[in-house]
Structure 1
Amino acid sequence: MPLMKIILAAPRGFCAGVNMAIESLDLTIKAFGKPVYVYHEIVHNKYVVDTFKSKGAVFVDHLEEVPEGSTLLFSAHGVSPAIRKLARDRKLTAIDATCPLVTKVHLEAIKFAKEGYTIVLIGHEGHDEVIGTMGEAPEAIVLVESQAEIDALPFDDTTKLAYLTQTTLSVDDANRIIRGLKARFPQIVGPPKEDICYATQNRQEAVHLLAEEADIVLVLGSQNSSNSQRLKEIAKEHGKPAYLIDGAQDIHGEWFSDAQTVLITAGASAPESVVQEVVEYLRDRFGAAVESRSIRSEDVHFPLPRELRNLTISAK
């Protein structure tokens, strides 16, 4: 009998938005040559970022770092109108790899603001996606991420209010905040369709359903990945030791002293190669056997940015 059982959760890893952003950057480097500048990390994953640095991508947090006339890619998390304007002013060739699901939230913010709503954005302060969304209508948006912050809001029942959410939140946490907002402000309205992305929901659902069978949970993803952090938190809510790691090099053998069953999943920006490295580590060290468990199928594909579509056609 194997010494350890691995439950390999599915869906896991790259979502359609991450696949599109990574393909976009790869194609941009091939088409325009290096360096290609990227505003913020293309996705929140150390392995992916380091791989692209070796290919000629330069990641920047300020457009002033980008020489005028250079090629610039906007990351999957989206940017504000002010950043787009600055890119034009600096005569940059800008390619927009924003995830369409993030763009949806931006458009909802613009619509609500034009209709005179004050928008309560549910999200994490300082996250790239939140910064970009708030930049669409900064005078009309306030950010909350806790019941205490809801209680502190200065509005009354005559205020025209709407809510939006960051796409990578915990579904449970977001619903809790939405319930709190509706309890305090019965007049508040939301988007026609929820904002939390399909991939975030599916990966969270898998951990909810499978964590009970495991003694320990490993989440592949980087510390600054919001959706990966949520997966770790969900596992802990089920009373399981859970660790968020970039790869096998982060594993500590003592984690498994009492573990017979290990659940492995990956955030939406973590590549499958790092998942398989962890699987091989556990096979080699503990004789682990793997059982794949899929709780939902995914078949979503997002088109490349329009600036790159003709390049793809010509490359064929």
Structure 2
Amino acid sequence: MSNLAASKSPLKVYLATPRGFCAGVDRAIQIVERAIELYGAPVYVRHEIVHNKHVVDRLKALGAVFVKELDQCPTDRPVVFSAHGVPKSVPAAAQNRKMFFLDATCPLVSKVHVEAERHHREGREIILIGHAGHPEVVGTMGQLPDGVVRLIETADEARVFTPVDPKNLAFVTQTTLSVDDTSEIVGILKSRFPDIAVPHKEDICYATTNRQDAVKNVSADCDLFLVIGSKASSNSQRLVEVALRGGARAAHLIDDASHIDWSWFEGVKTVGVSAGASAPENLISDLIRAIGDVYDAEVIESNGVQETVTFKLPRVLTEV
């Protein structure tokens, strides 16, 4: 051991696997990159393509222009809709303006949209379990007329929810929720309304579930847990909550290594590390490197699920 390493305090770093980009995020980013490659800059993007400043800044440098609303886009340039999905009014407005648009909505979010529309066609009252104001929730509720979808955010709300017809209900969920919290809400709804129609397959996406399971598996051994991700990222915030529930003494959400508060490490012998589904892997590498500059770090990677899911790009971007 070198004198430098000997002078550093030992620290075990448990690296949760899987972590970082999911297939839906990867597809959305590729759509913007490919659009710029094919059509040149600028390519407009309605809202953040994914909730990560580093991803957005890199795409800006390539020629993406991020806007809040469609009316900020010219009609002669491509526009991309974010991975979170959009209300039906958005593509309808783009078609009215004769705009060329690309929909980067995650296919697993689109699945929830299809479910909600099916329930509506079959005459059911629809509950959406999710967080008010999140872009995915706005997009899902916007698939149907105002007032058709009822939002439930908490177990307490599920306990007092009053449907029009208790025998004609269905629920769908936001894809990036806490698995445990959602299970509690679903349990309450099923108990109160035994006839409620449930999703054919779990709405919470595989990547959210896998990342939460990976954090659960290592957090009990951690004095401190660090999650790389944006505060706007629902799935990243849930990982912090999962780490605390799993036994970590403290957990923090940080954008990148520059946001480390080294006072968090006082008395710490073990640190867990993960990243939300919209955080690129290089941010994890930078974090591990920063920790290694200060501590004699032993990095231990967990044996988590190996993800092989991929989603195809829109045909217009591949048939050129």
TM-score range, shorter chain: over 0.9
Over residues 187-231 of structure 1, what are the superposed CA-to-partner deviations in whole Å (9 max), with x where a residue is unaligned?
211111110000000000011111011110000100000000000
SS in 2 for 1:204: helix
1:36 aligns with 2:43: yes
Unaligned runs of 5+ in 2: 1-5
**Over residues 89-117 of structure 1, what are the superposed CA-to-partner deviations in whole Å (9 max), with x where a residue is unaligned?**
12211011111100100000110000001
TM-score (norm 1): 0.95
Match of 2:148 among 140, 152, 164: 140
Counterpart residue number, 1:67: 74
Matched, 1:184 2:192: yes
Structure-2 separation of matches of 1:147 and 1:214 = 29
Determine the C-alpha separation between the residues in 1 that align with 2:228 and 2:181: 21
**Deviation of residue 153 (structure 1)?**
2.4
8 Å contact from structure 1 (residues 157, 187) kept in 2: no
Of 91, 94, 111, the match for 2:118: 111
Map of 2:88 onto structure 1: 81
Q: Distance in 2 between matches of 1:8 and 1:150?
A: 36
Structure 1 window deviating more from structure 2 (181-190 vs 264-273): it is: 181-190
How much does 1:294 deviate? 2.2
Q: Is the 8 A contact 2:128 2:174 kept in 1?
A: yes
- Return the match for 1:238 from 215, 238, 246: 246
Alignment of 1:142-161 (within 5 A): 142-155=150-163, 158-161=166-169
- For the pair 1:166 / 2:166, whether they are aligned, the reply is no
Per the alignment, residue 12 of structure 1 pairs with 19
Unaligned runs of 5+ in 1: 312-316
Instruction: State whether residues 4 and 289 of structure 1, in contact with CA within 8 Å, keep that contact through their aligned partners in structure 2.
Output: yes
Matched position secondary structure for 1:242: strand
Q: Is contact 1:77-1:128 (8 Å) kept?
A: yes
The answer on 1:267 being equivalent to 2:271 is: no
| One-letter identity of the residue aligned with 2:37 | K
The 1-side partners of 2:37 and 2:48 are apart by: 19
Name the amino acid aligned to 1:232. Answer: V
The CA RMSD over aligned residues, in Å, is 1.3
Deviations 1:243-267 (A, max 9, x none): 1011011001111011111110011
- Deviation, 1:156, is 5.6
Instruction: Report percent identity of matched pairs.
Output: 49
- Number of equivalent positions: 311
In structure 1, how many angstroms separate the alpha carbons of the residues matched to 2:235 and 2:312? 22
Q: CA deviation at 1:64?
A: 0.8
The counterpart of 1:204, out of the listed 189, 206, 212, is 212
* Structure 2 residue 303 is the aligned partner of structure 1 residue 294: yes
Distance in 1 between the 2:316 and 2:37 partners?
A: 14
- Residue 53 of structure 2 corresponds to 46
Q: Distance in 2 between matches of 1:295 and 1:41?
A: 29
1:157·1:186 contact (CA, 8 Å) conserved in 2? no
The CA deviation string for residues 50-102 of structure 1, in whole angstroms up to 9 with x for no partner, is 11112211111211111122210011111121111011112211011111100
Q: Is the 8 A contact 1:157 1:185 kept in 2?
A: no
- What CA distance in whole angstroms lies between the structure 2 residues aligned with 1:46 and 1:238? 28
What secondary structure sits across from 1:10 in the alignment?
coil
Kept in 1, the 8 Å contact 2:219–2:244? The answer is no
AA at the equivalent of 1:261: T
**Alignment partner, residue 229 of structure 1:** 237
